[in-house]
């Protein structure tokens, strides 16, 4: 997917406002996580933990979306059985 596939136009003020919101979110998340893990005001450690958690969550979501129920095979008699290992 290409960036700006919707061909949106943002003014400089809109870009700055969106970036400011993103940066505030990163800051607050980093502070909260650092304190939760007893790291005080270590923003680098907090940001690293938040980033790791986001990657881990995305990986787990990908794994769970790829799980499928076992295939059912149909024998010549028409009965349905699960395939073996």
pLDDT in tens, the chain (85 residues): 566 788 888 899 999 999 999 999 999 999 999 999 999 999 999 999 999 999 999 999 988 877 766 666 665 555 555 555 4
pTM reported for the whole predicted model: 0.63
Rounded to whole angstroms, how far apart are CA atoms 45 and 60?
22
Distant-in-sequence, close-in-space partners of 81: CB < 8 Å, separation ≥ 6: 72, 73, 75
Alpha helices in 1-85 (DSSP H): 12-36, 43-66
């Amino acid at each position: 997917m290409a960036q700006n596939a919707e061909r949106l136009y943002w003014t400089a003020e809109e870009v700055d406002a969106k970036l400011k919101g993103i940066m505030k979110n990163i800051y607050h998340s980093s502070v909260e996580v650092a304190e939760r893990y007893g790291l005080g005001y270590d923003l680098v450690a907090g940001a690293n933990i938040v980033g790791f958690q986001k990657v881990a969550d995305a990986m787990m979501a990908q794994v769970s979306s790829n799980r499928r129920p076992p295939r059912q095979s149909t024998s010549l008699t028409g009965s349905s059985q699960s395939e073996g290992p």
